[in-house]
Amino acid sequence: MSEGTPSEDYSGTYYDDAHLGGYDNYSWDNEEWRTFFLSLADRVVGIVNPRSVLDVGCARGLFVQALAAKGLQASGIDISEHAIASAHVDVRDRLRVASATEPFEGHYDLVACIEVLEHMGPVDAQRAIDNIAAATDLVLFSSSPTDHDEPTHINTRPAEQWAAWFAERGFFRRTDVDLSFLSPWAVLFERRELTLHTLAHRYEQQLAAVNTELMEKRQALLESHRRISSLNQQLESGVSKKMAEQAAQVEHWQAEVLAARHQLLTTRDHVIGTEAQVARLTGDEQRLRRELAQARKQLVNVRGRLKETRGRVERLTRKNRQLAAEIEAVRLRPSFARRAARKLLGGPR
């Protein structure tokens, strides 16, 4: 694409979609963002100690506000009318709506351009670099070489490409400054007339450090690989021994399982026999209970008959006693006795 993204692409929806932490979050009132930009301002002051700073693509001016809080003459521009209008009231008069493709007024000790040029078309990005180079001798620059999912990143480039374009304008990386606290690809460009000797020295200095780190990491990686191989061999050996021990243990457990199963079957048979015996005893108990019930019933009948018989005996006993009394009374009567004698002897009455 040759055309960049217009102001309309950075309305409230852009911030609301969390491109810069969310509409409600990306503001000076957010403690996390405020702390970040104040820390960034401290680092910038500590590194270059500028008096005047222009922030190109300042959004809501958080970096400008942080620099102003440190006493610097800081200002910012951005193409987003919404961003400038929604800036904090304390910094709004330091910001204005403008494009980086337009020449800047004045000269600055430092121009910051943080995550901006990847939003511009290739031609506009070159114009912006020209304008930045014309307004300062020191540039704080950062542009994401990735993050291609961001729809407004229409001109992402590798860091070395931006460095080459700045070098065409006489700006070179300050190799003594590390800005990785801002982003992995952040760099401080400085306008310098460098000889081939100085360029080669800087290049080799950086290359040597990187190459040394690379070789040390490769050596550490190799040692780690060897260590892993040794541990794998020990592990395999230990695993084999462990597997043999486990196999023997499994055989022992299998034998115990077979013995337990045999014992289980024996116990089950014993239980079945016991249950059968219990069933038989239960049947005998029920039969005995029935016989006992019958015997009790018979006993009740016998007791009834016995009671009846006793009654009869008592009645007969009373009757016999009565007859005996009557006989005794008759025996004691004389007239009766004489008549009985005469009758027996056949004499007159």
pLDDT for the residue numbered 334: 61
pLDDT category at 335 given cuts 50, 70, 90 is low
DSSP state of 72: -
Residue 46 has pLDDT above 70, yes or no: yes
Q: Which residues contact 91 (CB under 8 A, 6 or more apart)?
A: 28, 61, 64, 65, 68
Least confident range of 108-112, 189-193, 286-290: 286-290
Q: What is the dihedral of CA 214, 220, 223, 229, to 10 degrees?
A: -90
Q: Does residue 327 fall inside a structural domain? A: no
Q: Does residue 182 fall inside a structural domain? A: yes
pLDDT for the residue numbered 22: 47
Residue-wise pLDDT for 136-188, tens only, equals 999 999 999 987 677 888 889 999 999 999 999 999 999 999 999 999 999 99
- Mean pLDDT of the region 21-33: 77
| Greater pLDDT, 141 or 20 | 141
Instruction: Sort 115 into a burial class: Cβ within 10 Å, 0-12 / 13-18 / 19+.
Output: buried
Residue 21 has pLDDT above 60, yes or no: no
Q: Does residue 288 fall inside a structural domain? A: no
Q: Does residue 342 fall inside a structural domain? A: no
Q: Does residue 207 fall inside a structural domain? A: no
Give yes or no for a contact between 112 and 56, defined as CB atoms under 8 angstroms apart: yes
Task: Show the tokens assigned to 210.
Answer: 């990187």
The alpha-carbon radius of gyration of the chain (Å, integer) is 61
Most confident segment among 175-184, 257-266, 302-311: 175-184
pLDDT for the residue numbered 286: 86
Least confident range of 1-5, 55-59, 179-183, 249-253: 1-5
Instruction: Write out the residue range of the structural domain in which residue 152 sits.
Output: 7-193
pLDDT for the residue numbered 94: 97
- Mean pLDDT of the region 327-344: 70
Instruction: Determine the Cα angle at 126 with ends 121 and 129, to 5°.
Output: 125
Report the distance separating Cα 122 and Cα 157, nearest Å: 10
Q: Does residue 107 fall inside a structural domain? A: yes
Least confident range of 11-15, 156-160, 218-222: 11-15
Report the distance separating Cα 112 and Cα 66, nearest Å: 13
- Mean pLDDT of the region 58-64: 96
- Mean pLDDT of the region 233-255: 84
pLDDT for the residue numbered 169: 96
CATH of the domain at 11: 3.40.50.150
H or E stretch covering 189:
strand 187-191
Q: Does residue 305 fall inside a structural domain? A: no
Q: Does residue 344 fall inside a structural domain? A: no
Domain count, the chain: 1
